[in-house]
Homo-oligomer: A and B are copies of this chain.
Amino acid sequence: MVSGLRPLRADDGQLLILDQTQLPYAEEWRWIATLDDAARAIRDMQVRGAPLIGITAAFGLALALRVQASDAALAAAAAALAATRPTAVNLRWALARMQARLAPLPPSMRADAAWDEAQFLAAEDAAANRAIGEHGLALLRPLAERRGTLRVMTHCNAGWLATGGYGTALAPVYAAHAAGIAVHVYASETRPRNQGLLTAWELARGDVPHTLIADNAAGHLMRAGKVDVAIVGADRIAANGDVANKIGTYLKALAAREAGIPFYVAAPRSTIDRDCPSGEAIPIEERDGEELRLVRGAFAYARVAERRTRVANPAFDVTPAALVGAIVTERGAVPPGELAGLFDPARRDG
């Protein structure tokens, strides 16, 4: 297990984040001292991954409340953080929870309470990751027993870099690795932001064998029988089980179905948006076309743009529930049509 590795440190009331836009080339840590710092870190993807976005926003709110803690200031800070990125529901979920916790308190108590609550939220996410790993491992184990090495396809980065703990999609991989199961992960590049390099980087750190591929190669490898299971994270799961995740996820899900490969989604319950009936209601973030232009330098590439090349850059897509074999949460793995059971009010944490 990759214990102790965290993309965010919040000790002594100070917040430090690993700048993921510099990975895997450089490990640079940045102090986040203000609401604006936090909002910028989320918007510019210095921190990314649905759970980590939520955690960072919670700390950002705490930082804002140190300056001003009135009801109006609390609402304004939450609104500013919520506006940073539209698709991941964990962001809104974390902010709503913070507000529900803080609003009843007198303003003078809010800043400290917010920091504690953000710490608790991060710890809770780490615990959820661990449980996701165990429940996911239960799905992987029978596949591994049929194979020498279990070959896992993932997309984007849903590992410890994206969360408060061990990751979502990668948590079962780390759990399998720790349990002595031979695993090999195919990490796809994940254009345009190349988060597949983050996955390669963190798998290398965790000594998990892996192969980097172009996103385009995923279909070929699945069709060629080189993949046993696909696992991805999620940015928002609708009530009907439709899954919004990093752009390109849907293509992998289609290829998995075609090849008869199980396709699993791993996410904490905070990713499930029970107010969202289906994938059609999930807002899809359109990001700056310049992201595609990182290929060989913005300056040179701008010459193409001058010649009237438009760029479309949707950051997420929706994988319909019908393509998803199971959604793996901290409460266990369920088919996408049975999400309601994860919120059983009879359970303590329901």
Contacts and interface: CB of A to CB of B under 8 A. Distances in A.
Q: How many copies does the complex hold?
A: 2
Contact of A220 (B191, B295, B317): B317
A307 interface: yes
A136 to B, nearest CB: 23
B219 A307 contact: no
Given A25-B301, A189-B295, A300-B25, A311 B213 contact: yes
Interface stretch (A41-49, A57-65, A248-256): A248-256
Contact of A205 (B303, B307, B318): B307
Interface string A290-304: 001011100011011
Residue from A25, A203, A303, A316 whose CB has the most chain B CB atoms within 10 Å:
A25
Contact of A219 (B205, B214, B250): B250
Interface in A23-66: 24-25
Given A213-B312, A251-B219, A294 B292 contact: no
Contacts of A304: 24, 197, 200-201, 204, 212
A284 interface: yes
Interface in A294-350: 294-296, 300-301, 303-304, 307-314, 316-318
Contact of A247 (B220, B312, B313, B318): B220
Contacts of A105: none
A210 interface: yes
Contacts of A251: 216, 218-219, 251, 254-255
Contacts of A210: 309-310
B248 A258 contact: no
A182 interface: no
Contacts of A200: 304, 307, 309
A215 interface: yes
17 contacts: A25-B300, A189-B192, A191-B214, A192-B216, A197-B301, A204-B304, A211-B309, A213-B311, A214-B215, A214-B292, A215-B248, A216-B248, A220-B247, A220-B284, A220-B317, A223-B318, A254-B254
